[in-house]
Structure 1
Amino acid sequence: MHAPASLRARAATRLVRHPLQLFLLGAAALCTLSSQAQDPIAMPATAMRMEQGRPVLNYEKVRLANGLELILAPDRRLPLVSVNLWVHAGPRNEAPGQTGFAHLFEHLMFAGSRHIPRGAMDRIIDAAGGTDANGTTDFDRTNYFVTLPSNQLELGLWLKSDMLGYMIDKIDAVALSNQQDVVRNERRLSENRPYGVVEDVLFQALFPAGHPYRAAVIGSHADIQSIKLADVKDFARRYYRPNNATLVLAGDFDPTRAKALVQKYFGPLRQGLPVPPAQATQPRIEQEQRLSVTDRVELPRLTLAWHTPAVFKPSDAELDLAARVLAGGASSRLQQRLVRELRLAQSVSASQASLSLGSLFSMEVLAMPGQSLADIEAVINAEIQSLAEQGPSQAELAQARTAVQTQLMQQLEKPHTLADLLNYYNQQAGDPGYLAQDLQRYQDATVESVKAAVAQYLGRNHRVVVQALPGPQQLAAEIPTPPPPKASKAAAESINPPAPWRKQQPPASGALDLQLPTAQRRTLPNGLELIHVHRPGLPLASVVLAVRAGQSANPQGLPGLHAFTAAMLTEGSQQRSAQDIAAEAARLGLVLQTTPRDDDTLISFSGLSRHFGPGLALLADVALHPAFASTDVQRLRTSQLTALGQLREDPNTLVSVVGRRAAFGPQHPLGQSPLGTEASIKAIDSEALRGFWQGHYRPDQAALVVVGDVDPNTLRQQVDALFGAWQRPDTPLPQRSRVPAQATQARVVVVDKPGAPQTALSVVTPLPPAGMPDAAALNVGNAAMGGLFTSRINHLLREVKGYTYGLYTQTQQGREIGLFSTRGSVRTDATADAIALFLREVRDMRAQPMPGPELQRVRNALLLALPGELDTHQALATHLASDWARDLPADELKQLPQRLRQVSAASAQAALRAHIDPTHLIFVGVGDWAQLQPQLEQLRARQPQLRLERWSADGPATP
């Protein structure tokens, strides 16, 4: 995955004005294929309308003369437009011995083109305020997307057309070598995660040699390293042609102008030879295959997988419903049996992964300590057999249907996911407007049809079973990373004719009206603050109840109490059992969840607005009337202890916990693991939980945030009825035993993880709390230094050196204290060099103000991206809740643009000098001590201020 500036895109399985004459000719060159828009000139308010009770997508589909398909879906709700390009090529099109090629090619598409220099695309997107800027690869396609402010539509078309038509002109051996390093670092990330070795074993058992789906999408180290430049160019000539691509525009744009611009930028690209459809016979397993692998984990995990019908084929929907009935949420059968009743498993999940050449139904179950995978498998077998013989109940079927409907509606909420859905329907169903038919498949499913599908496809003889057990991790032999090639001027190659006019970046079409949502606020007599943003247009709503009961409120001696309390809220109320709560949430199609954080705990749900009233009543019940029953406390205690063990297995989680301990000290509440310690979890009982809840869950320390299609008058009535009687106690808030964060000294802390293929790296130092006067300046300075994909640190370590898949810095300002930290991993043998280069970039940023163009780019990346960062109800509700929890002013969001505009190069430099001091930076690595110690000792010889310390997961190791 090409890592995005916004860092929000999903991971791959991969982040000149138009002359009037050409405008008219371009519009005439498009051929209309189909249209679902009532009037393609008059833009609809939303991309969906209801007809006879059925949702219908408003879109227009046309085809250019060169074969490019164009789908337009105007939607005026937000001043954003998504430019979403799908190339209909993926691993299913790879040649033998070239696994991972399609994904590597995705990376190379960002490495520059004939008219746009290497690295410039991402910087241009930053400067324009782009979000959701990335590319991903799955088995059936590769996609490239960006969401931009609506006045930058032409910019998006310019970028994507040059990627599609002119990458081959620029690619060279240096760019290929660098991206091979990056992708292999991405592969190491998966190998360094718990159970990361299972995927390869599973897919090689499911598919025979030669099948397009046999290998993991990312490929093997050997195959990635073997790719040659000629292979890249051949792949581009064959697959990266306009007649093998579809472009979707979704958002706030004029269709007539958009079609003319698409013709201008994509119309001249030359059509390629027809691409034959990928074909492969779906394997059929007639005898159960059982395999076992070992990994550096504490808990065994069971994975089961079956071949099932291809996407949109008969039984595909039924098996999706079956996955939800079996393990689709807290009320599902296996969640209740394995997790709640028998306590055999820590977690269970199931899914129907729908693909074009045949789908996969899979299940994953993580065992509790001391429990047998055989016992778990016996329960799974019994539930599948029961479903095959009796089918789901009508209630289970209704719950699964509601969940599907809710999730599909939520995909229409933001321009990027709307565009992706249209592209998905177009490729897999041949109809961008397949939404109604898709939903109808689930409506047509019956108890009998689900039963029949389970009986036909989920038999024991038709599956692969993989047991992942604790033990040594067995990886393929290391493939050396060759030295980078020297730059050379290769003979220019081209598919499309040169076009000097393309070198001119198109200007924005007018000024951007940066309008951010305005919230209506009201304080109830009991002190509860109600924050409401009315967003009609789609029948969706998001609700967040924020309570100042976060990690910072934990008393001395009981770390993790806040998280234990939050987890107990859905374990039963005075009126409902945990099963009742789960069943009611499932009936409403809601995911009711609690999220403990540093300063607060969030109790939230999102769903269809017609379920807002009963959903709010359910949320009020769990928040205001928890039971804290001793039997539930005991069960959850076991789960929390297990989760604590899992935390130690994952280097990327562990490095964050150790980093906070090093920054804040072991006595500070934020210096502990958010789950607590083994001793504290065992000591927490019903009395402690009830006491924490009574002391901190109070209306004068809470805010209810509601965003979406909820009428203000209805909201007021329901909030008064449900929360008006919530009494504010007379007692003051519990006194917090505050231990100031310790003064940090530059050092390197290593937690040993023998054999780790990467070093998980975090760099930390405390910051002042939220509300500090130079917060905006610090955020801009950090964006330039390490916060953006195009930042100095990430560019150097990823794009120049090839040491990492991505290393990013972030600033967090909490209510009482803040933290500067990083996230990412680096190649083990390059850890010391990465630390040295990191320090160099920090010193350079502090020594000189950034140049004007860099300042403008990174400032715009934060300022102009604000609408895109708040493009869902849930994102906006969470943002408003965070501002409230940190005691920021009610108009903080409204004032933020002006604060960002006022940041200068000098003020950004001053903020970095004041808060990011190299003499106080702590580098924390989780990796192989035997390989790290020699290089870190050499680093200390060059930089003696860096003390080297070896820690365990719990703190400094005993000498």
Structure 2
Amino acid sequence: MSMDLKKGLAAAMAVCFAIGGSAISQTNGKLKLPEIKYETYTLPNGLKVITHEDHRLPLVAVDLWYHVGPLNERPGRTGFAHLFEHMMFEGSEHVGEKAHIKYVQGAGATDVNGTTDFDRTNYFETLPANQLELGLWLESDRMGFLMEGLNRDLLRNQRDVVRNERRQGEGSPYAAADEAVAHLLYPKGHPYYGDVIGSHADIEAARIADIRDFHQQFYTPNNASIAIAGDFDPAKLKELLTKYFGPIPAGPKVDPVTVVTPPITSQRRQTVTDTVKLPQLNIAWLTPAAYTPGSYDVSAAIFALGGAKASRLDEALVYKTQVAQSVTCYSRPNKLNGTAECSVIAKPGVKLEDLEATVWAEIAKLQTEGPTAAEVEAAKAGSLTQKINGLQRLGGFGGVADTLDEYNQYTGDPGYLPKDIAAAEAVSVASTKAAAARYLTKDTAVVVYCVPGKKVLDDVPRSPEDTDANVKITNPYTPEFETAQEWRKTVPKAGPPVTVHLPVPQTFTLANGLKVYVVEESSLPVLSATLVARAGSENNPSGKEGLASLTSQTMGEATTTRDLKQLADAQERIGTRIGVGSSMDGSTASMTVLTNHTREGFDLLSDVVEHPAFKVEDLDRLRKQRLIGIQQETDSVSAMAQRVGPKLVYGDQPYGHSQTGTNESVTGLTRDDVTGFYADHYGPADSALVLVGDVTPAEARKLAEQYFGKWTGKATAAITLPSAPTLTPTHVVIVDKPGAPQSALIAYGLGVPGNSPDLQPLQVMNYVLGGSFASRINMNLREVHGYTYGASSNYSLYRGGGPFQAGGLVRTDVTGPAAKELMTEIRRFPSTPPTEAELNEAKTARIQSLPGQFETTGSIASSMGSIFLYDRPLDYYATLPEKYRAVTAANVERVAKEDVHPDELIIVAAGDRTKIEPQLKDAGLGPVEVRDINGKLVTDAK
């Protein structure tokens, strides 16, 4: 569970869309806007219900919003809403301790989470339709009966977990600057002053009495709304809501928060230090509240300033003068007010004062000249694409249920979508210019310089073990009421089994050898297109590590007829961005467009794939940025561990190298290397075009032939797989990062190929070991010991067998004990394979969660691309349910013994060596070495 910033695309294919014509005939036509059909009613206890029916997939999303966040917290009690987000997963009276997440994951839920933002806390899960009653049982029990399951041990554990989450954030580069910005924007005591997570002191000061009071005040039916979207019977749903939520008494009235944010009338500045390689400039402003006209105008202004790929600041700082490593600008409206912020990371040797002067010069131009009409239209197009593309999903961030709840929270109108779109469309050049002149001024800004230096943390000791030992817990209900609710102890039975239909693509091959995969999904006017090539990092020649990823990255910069700005502007004008990237096994160029822009999108996608310019200036700029990025990896213990671990397992083979390359290899890469790699590995005979969305097979053929039919190239399917490495006895490797508040603790070993015949038994096995929240590793390290915010295990399923890894970020002071517990779980697993209950839960979860993995056109396109990349049969995904059902206990026991190698692991601990080395030596896990970030042995033993 984590705080969300509501970024990115999201949502569910559950919108009623009336679209005339085909995807092709709509090109340049007017797109009909979406309508989310919904019903709403309020239970007698005040719970607002919002429902939306959609019967295309056997899924249902349950999304519960409580109208509480830091907005409602008192000084000295910061972080309570977020702490409660964690407590709500600890177990309620009738569900049982730590059982909530086991039930939902075992039922095959996807998009399961709880998140806290400044103005609200939400809990959501997307379930198979036959498990709707289970979701309502769980959510109602923790709304009405959480206190009975709460004790001081659970509270102490979750205080540790939440503080680990805060340390995880504190360990991130530039986190000190982020907090400083908030402290300058708001006075102390303001609801938005602190981090949503709260301060260490306030979290540690939380006591059972405080928690009980907070729950009884805010986690009540009259302070919540529940949105349910998907495949359900409305009458039956109302009956179930009345059954499960109806008996819960209304709580006290929650008065609206009317805090007035003081305006900033003179610039505020601060300089902070952090353990980073490069300095960073942050400039932020107070802006209008969410869903007010001014918030839309500010968003457009920020997009023009630094949100577009070729924005004004990117042009001035990143592309032309190349004095900045990166520019990031965004706006974030909340209930009381919003904020806008620009962050600029300097290149080595560049003064922040010089960057700041350029930023203010560009803002002045925007204020006096205004944005161009193209900039405003691009901002609006991107906003519309994001909204509609998001509505492909039922649940999760930005899904249909989430959208209904968010509109209800901020506007009181769940059906606000058309008004939201209309308000965004009303933004003009004049209104954007006015917003920039009014809100983005020097006098109303806060400016924070973050420079390399010591990371200053405000940690506090843990509370005494006997804290709250003498507190008496009083049941909030009468014995009579409790007796009347005894029926809740019975776990609801699943409804009739749902039929899972997973996509099988239709295929054809063009005359030039290009394979085309098509999945028609016409519920929304959205089309995703992905070109997949077997041009991954496994093809990097020795000494040229990073070549595959640099080739794909440079492809997306310019074509032979469009320079960087022309190409970026053409994409954003139609509300899309073509993403070009590579993995170990392949490379992709992909886009998602609204279907009134299908032809423009295909013109751009084919141009990027077939006519990359590989301009010397683009290549040189990207190479310099990458070299600096490699240096910046020492800012993060996670990045350090991820570079070292595979290297120690695989050595100098492609699987052992970071896909970004090394300082030496990237420095030596030339334009001839890049163009040669493109010529050898990109071509129609060894690529596939995947089209998913509002397009028929006949239309897909026309598009493929028109835009890719003349593509030529010599690439063939010749791939040399790396040889299996020699395994070494288990030992510990320390990578030193002085002052790190956490350690990245990850055990690395040998994995299995992506096409292993044992893949399904292996996935079932790993689900129990570390592949789910309720896995043995996570329950031990997080829930039992409070060492981490989260720990897991996974297999990187490369074509030739990628690494196994297990672990997570742990507190520095418990790195040794955490390593012992991690290895205890791994070592005992082959001899104590999953129980029958664990096996059944894992199989059910894998099967029932499959439909949720195919909600969006983008996710379907990715899956279909993997069919080509790994030579899988066309019905690969359609047959997965039966393959999981066929997994037996004997299968799982065998792969646990064959594919978990507890005596041949390399335990990498990246963190503060002075503090973790004694612990790891005492842990008795094998010899302890110290290596640098490149895996070279450090001989100055301490």
TM-score under structure 2 normalisation? 0.95
Q: 457, 476, 482: which one pairs with 1:494?
A: 476
Deviation at 1:956, TM superposition (A): 2.3
Deviation at 1:152, TM superposition (A): 1.2
The residue type paired with residue 450 of structure 2 is A
- Greater shift, 913-922 or 370-379, is seen at 370-379
Inter-partner Cα distance in structure 2 for 1:593 and 1:341: 22
Q: Is the 8 A contact 2:535 2:587 kept in 1?
A: yes
Deviation at 1:271, TM superposition (A): 0.9
- How has the CA–CA distance of structure 1 residues 712 and 165 changed in structure 2, closer, same or farther, with 3 Å as cutoff? same
- 1:671 aligns with 656
- How has the CA–CA distance of structure 1 residues 890 and 126 changed in structure 2, closer, same or farther, with 3 Å as cutoff? same
Does residue 438 (structure 1) correspond to residue 420 (structure 2)? The answer is yes
- 1:291 aligns with 270
Does residue 727 (structure 1) correspond to residue 709 (structure 2)? The answer is no
- 2:797 aligns with 813
* Secondary structure at the counterpart of residue 955 of structure 1: coil
Deviation at 1:199, TM superposition (A): 2.3
Q: 55, 63, 67: which one pairs with 1:84?
A: 63
Q: 830, 836, 849: which one pairs with 1:852?
A: 836
1:253-264 to 2 correspondences below 5 Å: 253-264=232-243
Deviation at 1:306, TM superposition (A): 0.6
* Secondary structure at the counterpart of residue 532 of structure 1: strand
* Secondary structure at the counterpart of residue 531 of structure 2: strand
- 2:46 aligns with 67
Does residue 125 (structure 1) correspond to residue 109 (structure 2)? The answer is no
Inter-partner Cα distance in structure 2 for 1:524 and 1:741: 40
Deviation at 1:302, TM superposition (A): 1.1
Q: 304, 310, 331: which one pairs with 2:289?
A: 310
Deviation at 1:477, TM superposition (A): 4.5
1:653-664 to 2 correspondences below 5 Å: 653-664=639-650
Q: Is the 8 A contact 2:543 2:665 kept in 1?
A: yes
Give the length in aligned residue pairs: 918
Deviation at 1:351, TM superposition (A): 1.6
The residue type paired with residue 309 of structure 1 is P
* Secondary structure at the counterpart of residue 919 of structure 1: coil
* Secondary structure at the counterpart of residue 287 of structure 1: coil
The residue type paired with residue 837 of structure 1 is E
* Secondary structure at the counterpart of residue 513 of structure 2: coil
Q: 153, 176, 194: which one pairs with 1:197?
A: 176
Does residue 511 (structure 1) correspond to residue 487 (structure 2)? The answer is no
The residue type paired with residue 289 of structure 1 is R
- 1:841 aligns with 825
Does residue 147 (structure 1) correspond to residue 126 (structure 2)? The answer is yes
- Greater shift, 141-150 or 322-331, is seen at 322-331
Q: Is the 8 A contact 2:745 2:819 kept in 1?
A: no
Summarize deviations over 1:172-220 as a string: whole Å, max 9, x none: 1111101000000000100111111122211111111221111110111
Does residue 177 (structure 1) correspond to residue 156 (structure 2)? The answer is yes
Q: 618, 624, 636: which one pairs with 2:610?
A: 624
Does residue 947 (structure 1) correspond to residue 927 (structure 2)? The answer is yes
The residue type paired with residue 264 of structure 1 is K
Does residue 300 (structure 1) correspond to residue 286 (structure 2)? The answer is no
- How has the CA–CA distance of structure 1 residues 360 and 235 changed in structure 2, closer, same or farther, with 3 Å as cutoff? same
The residue type paired with residue 633 of structure 1 is L
The residue type paired with residue 654 of structure 2 is P
- 2:385 aligns with 406
Inter-partner Cα distance in structure 2 for 1:368 and 1:387: 25
- 2:28 aligns with none
The residue type paired with residue 693 of structure 2 is G
Deviation at 1:740, TM superposition (A): 3.7
Q: 571, 575, 588: which one pairs with 1:589?
A: 575
Inter-partner Cα distance in structure 1 for 2:365 and 2:413: 37
- 2:530 aligns with 544
- How has the CA–CA distance of structure 1 residues 220 and 12 changed in structure 2, closer, same or farther, with 3 Å as cutoff? farther
Summarize deviations over 1:726-755 as a string: whole Å, max 9, x none: 2242x7667758454232331111100111
Summarize deviations over 1:253-291 as a string: whole Å, max 9, x none: 122221221111111111112110011111211110111
Deviation at 1:895, TM superposition (A): 2.1
| Runs of 4+ in structure 1 over 6 Å off | 484-489
- 2:311 aligns with 332
Q: Is the 8 A contact 1:562 1:692 kept in 2?
A: yes
- 2:24 aligns with none
The residue type paired with residue 58 of structure 1 is K
Q: 343, 347, 356: which one pairs with 1:364?
A: 343
Percent of matched pairs sharing the same residue: 39
Inter-partner Cα distance in structure 1 for 2:873 and 2:646: 27
Q: 550, 555, 559: which one pairs with 1:564?
A: 550
Inter-partner Cα distance in structure 2 for 1:452 and 1:909: 67
In structure 1, runs of 5+ residues without a counterpart are 3-8, 14-43
* Secondary structure at the counterpart of residue 52 of structure 2: strand
Deviation at 1:633, TM superposition (A): 1.6
Q: Is the 8 A contact 1:270 1:495 kept in 2?
A: no
- 1:957 aligns with 937
The residue type paired with residue 552 of structure 2 is A
Deviation at 1:327, TM superposition (A): 1.4
* Secondary structure at the counterpart of residue 581 of structure 2: strand
Does residue 612 (structure 1) correspond to residue 598 (structure 2)? The answer is yes
Deviation at 1:46, TM superposition (A): 3.3
Does residue 135 (structure 1) correspond to residue 107 (structure 2)? The answer is no
Q: 890, 899, 921: which one pairs with 2:883?
A: 899
Summarize deviations over 1:503-532 as a string: whole Å, max 9, x none: 111112211111112211222232221111
* Secondary structure at the counterpart of residue 879 of structure 2: helix
Deviation at 1:784, TM superposition (A): 0.2
Inter-partner Cα distance in structure 2 for 1:93 and 1:486: 25
Summarize deviations over 1:448-469 as a string: whole Å, max 9, x none: 1111111111110001011111
- Greater shift, 184-193 or 445-454, is seen at 445-454
* Secondary structure at the counterpart of residue 588 of structure 2: strand
Q: Is the 8 A contact 1:73 1:250 kept in 2?
A: yes
* Secondary structure at the counterpart of residue 661 of structure 1: helix
Inter-partner Cα distance in structure 2 for 1:153 and 1:733: 46
Deviation at 1:313, TM superposition (A): 2.0
- 1:46 aligns with 15
- 1:708 aligns with 693
Q: 889, 910, 914: which one pairs with 2:894?
A: 910
Q: Is the 8 A contact 1:166 1:495 kept in 2?
A: no
Inter-partner Cα distance in structure 2 for 1:415 and 1:45: 6
Q: Is the 8 A contact 1:11 1:136 kept in 2?
A: no
Q: Is the 8 A contact 2:512 2:684 kept in 1?
A: yes
In structure 2, runs of 5+ residues without a counterpart are 8-12, 21-30
Inter-partner Cα distance in structure 2 for 1:536 and 1:295: 50
Q: Is the 8 A contact 2:216 2:251 kept in 1?
A: yes
Q: 408, 411, 418: which one pairs with 1:429?
A: 411
1:383-422 to 2 correspondences below 5 Å: 383-416=362-395, 417-422=399-404
Does residue 522 (structure 1) correspond to residue 508 (structure 2)? The answer is yes
Inter-partner Cα distance in structure 1 for 2:827 and 2:726: 23
Deviation at 1:490, TM superposition (A): 5.2
- 2:914 aligns with 930
Inter-partner Cα distance in structure 2 for 1:810 and 1:486: 38
Summarize deviations over 1:121-168 as a string: whole Å, max 9, x none: 111112210011110000000001111011111111111111111111
Q: Is the 8 A contact 1:338 1:344 kept in 2?
A: yes
- Greater shift, 477-486 or 843-852, is seen at 477-486
- 1:754 aligns with 738
Inter-partner Cα distance in structure 2 for 1:12 and 1:607: 21
Deviation at 1:701, TM superposition (A): 1.6
Does residue 789 (structure 1) correspond to residue 787 (structure 2)? The answer is no
Inter-partner Cα distance in structure 2 for 1:489 and 1:127: 35
Deviation at 1:656, TM superposition (A): 1.4
Deviation at 1:244, TM superposition (A): 0.4
Q: What RMSD, in angstroms, separates the aligned Cα atoms of the two structures?
A: 2.0
- 1:685 aligns with 670
Q: Is the 8 A contact 1:181 1:481 kept in 2?
A: no
- How has the CA–CA distance of structure 1 residues 574 and 68 changed in structure 2, closer, same or farther, with 3 Å as cutoff? same
Q: Is the 8 A contact 1:845 1:909 kept in 2?
A: no
- 1:634 aligns with 620
TM-score under structure 1 normalisation? 0.93
Inter-partner Cα distance in structure 2 for 1:465 and 1:479: 32
* Secondary structure at the counterpart of residue 388 of structure 2: helix
Inter-partner Cα distance in structure 2 for 1:756 and 1:738: 35
Summarize deviations over 1:835-861 as a string: whole Å, max 9, x none: 211222123221133221111111111
Q: 815, 830, 848: which one pairs with 1:864?
A: 848
The residue type paired with residue 533 of structure 2 is V
Inter-partner Cα distance in structure 2 for 1:477 and 1:107: 20
- How has the CA–CA distance of structure 1 residues 913 and 53 changed in structure 2, closer, same or farther, with 3 Å as cutoff? closer
